Chains A and B, each alone.
Chain A
Amino acid sequence: MSEREISYTEAAREALTAAMERDPTIFVLGEGIGERGGNFNTTLGLYERFGPRRLRDTPICERGFVGLCTGAAMTGTRPVVDFMFIDFILDSVGELTNQIAKIQYMSGGRLKMPVLLRGCVGIGGGAATHHSGSYYPLFLNVPGFRVVVPTTPYDAKGLMSTALRSDDPVLFLEHKSLLNVRGPVPEEEYQIPFGQAQVCRQGTTVTVVAIGPLVPKSLAACDTLAAEGISVEVIDPRTLAPLDLDTILTSVRKTGRLLVADESFGPCGVGAEIAAQVMAQGFDDLAAPVRRLNGVHTPTPYSPPLEAAVVPSMDQVAAAVRDLAAE
């Protein structure tokens, strides 16, 4: 049976809709997520279905409504914060790191913290520096968060469904360039467990761990590289916390070479962490140093040629793989 294809955004919205039907304690807060249906159509049609208390347009006060969601989660409801652009989350970092991330621990597990924090990440479309950030390395550094970076419509739906069942705070980060990507998605609900990477393409020469939009870019480079005799294995971690290190180590055991490709910043970033963990647990399997490919460590510029210059391209992935294969 051929599966229908829907967009990434539609897939995530299907999971949210089903969860809200099933669980009357789920509500969504954000700017323009009510009748408007969300700047990115994340809640399109839900206001008519669930009403204003469960689709609550907020004043522009990110710290305030994240703090509100903290208290709500402690008292038996399941808030979803729709930040629109994830850059806006930075106004609420104190509530996130000092409160949301710590309350389960400080209460000895007697309080749960089922807060879903979603927003659009990444560079593209001339959004410039206040609408282009990713920031997930900040949250990986703090104990208490789950960090989810879906790449495909199928994963967006399955991971959203899991996130809406999680008792932990989940950052659900949707890259701009992926929102309208279409793909096969089952109509029924399903969950993808956190901490299960996807091997997107098997290979034997180099392992590429790619995050978000770097997954399609890496896959697009594979055929050219294969023609050159370089067999690339592409892994999409899907969740960065928890991280499925076992799948990465298994791959490195086979290839001996690892590239981590990620649009977000390099210093203290995802690639640095994966490299350190692979060296600690798989050093003897490595035939070459672990390499990283990241976005340029700079605020995001507006002008098209400048913007293009900070984002890792498919060609840069291919070049990095060639270099690594030649070591």
Chain B
Amino acid sequence: MKETMTIPKDTLLSLYRTMVRIRRCEEQLARSYAAGTITGACHTYVGEEAVATGVCAHLRDDDAVFSTHRGHGHALAKGVPPRELVAELFGRATGCSGGRGGSMHLFSPEVGMMGTSGIVGPCILQATGAGYSFQLKETDQVGVAFFGDGAVSNGAFHEGLNMATIWDLPVLFVCENNMYATEVAFKDSARNTDVAGRAAGYGLHAEAVDGNDVVAVYEAASAAVARARQGGGPSLIECRTYRTRPHAEGMRDGGYRSQQEIDSWKARDPITAFSRRVVDDGAVTAADLQTIDDAIVAEITEAVAFATDSPWPDPATVADHIYGGVAS
């Protein structure tokens, strides 16, 4: 694991808080799914928290994130309150998408969460388009795409990386290589599984990092985001990581990967590793982390209560917002 001492204490605590927020929220969503409170799909981010956390730590509300079906962690790291995420999966009017989206369609443009998607690939193109907007408007905003190894052999990867590179767009592509597209192993769907190497072939900055090391992700993203803001063009970070729960809640998780493999990645849990390291370094105290743990437990408890008490959407609104109309 990378050295932590160059990162200020407040930042270390903030990284820890975000990872724990994602973990506890996901564990709650899994329980709610098992209890039948969540009626639709629920893809958790457990095991991959360091990626969204390390990247989004460098983003402002006006930077635009485009995400995948496994997007709860991105939404939370970008600033969507847990109560709005939980309420969305509960199908309530107070959810971040007003109950229209569920797990795979999380929208909160107020904090730059421009949507998760049930289709693999489009987020790469949309982040490229955000970069196009920001370049045209001559701002220092950045477009960010999170996607998995499953998107890498999709045409959107080729077309998006190529356009971002030829036009020097301020975009960060973050590949969460968790080795499986649902249950198809990456090694079975690509001869070249070096995502960063492939990206470099398009002519953009690309590097691979340990996606379970939040400090490594944080530092790689720091350079990439700064490069984009300064007009240095797009970058790709391949974060090698693993989801330790099934593809989606309620699915079996056998046959395509071994328990031994799962256990080996659980032993590399990003939160456990980070907390041990920062305490051992003397950068923070165990009490600092405990304070955060307690606050997050309270926050998630409140989020569930909020979602449970929230109203259902009004069926009379079912066809609202299909069209925006013509500006006067």
By a beta-carbon cutoff of 8 Å, the part of chain A in contact with chain B is 25, 27, 53-54, 56, 58-59, 61, 63-77, 79, 94-95, 98-99, 103-114, 143-144, 146, 162, 165-168, 191, 193-194
Contacts and interface: CB of A to CB of B under 8 A. Distances in A.
Interface string B96-138: 0110110001010110001101110110111111111111110
Contact of A107 (B109, B119, B129, B133): B109
Nearest to B99: A108
Contact of B64 (A54, A75, A162): A75
22 contacts: A53-B136, A61-B155, A63-B125, A63-B155, A67-B128, A71-B126, A71-B131, A72-B132, A74-B64, A75-B143, A103-B107, A104-B322, A104-B323, A107-B115, A107-B321, A109-B321, A110-B109, A111-B114, A112-B324, A143-B319, A143-B322, A193-B326
A58 B198 CA distance: 22
Interface in B153-195: 155-156, 158-160, 162-163, 166-167
B97 A67 contact: no
A106 to B, nearest CB: 5
Contact of B162 (A61, A70, A72, A107): A61
Contacts of A95: 122, 125
A3 B101 CA distance: 52
B325 interface: yes
Interface of B: 64, 66, 97-98, 100-101, 105, 107, 109-110, 114-115, 117-119, 121-122, 124-137, 141, 143, 155-156, 158-160, 162-163, 166-167, 319-327
B160 A77 contact: no
Contacts, number: 172
A68 B156 CA distance: 10
Given A76-B133, A110-B109, 10 more contacts: A59-B162, A61-B155, A61-B159, A64-B156, A74-B115, A95-B125, A98-B117, A111-B109, A112-B324, A165-B327
B63 to A, nearest CB: 10
A168 B130 contact: no
A72 B100 CA distance: 23
B44 to A, nearest CB: 21
A195 to B, nearest CB: 10
A166 B323 CA distance: 10
A165 B162 CA distance: 30
B97 A106 contact: yes
A26 to B, nearest CB: 10
Nearest to B171: A71
Nearest to B116: A106
Given A106-B97, A109-B324, A68 B128 contact: yes
Nearest to B317: A108
Given A64-B163, A108-B107, A166 B125 contact: no
A146 B325 CA distance: 10
Contacts of A94: 119, 122
Given A74-B114, A104-B324, A68 B129 contact: yes
B100 A108 contact: yes
A167 B324 CA distance: 5
Contact of B133 (A61, A65, A72, A162): A72
A67 B100 contact: no
Contacts of B323: 104, 144, 146, 167-168
Contacts of B156: 63-64, 67
A106 B107 contact: yes
A213 B158 CA distance: 39
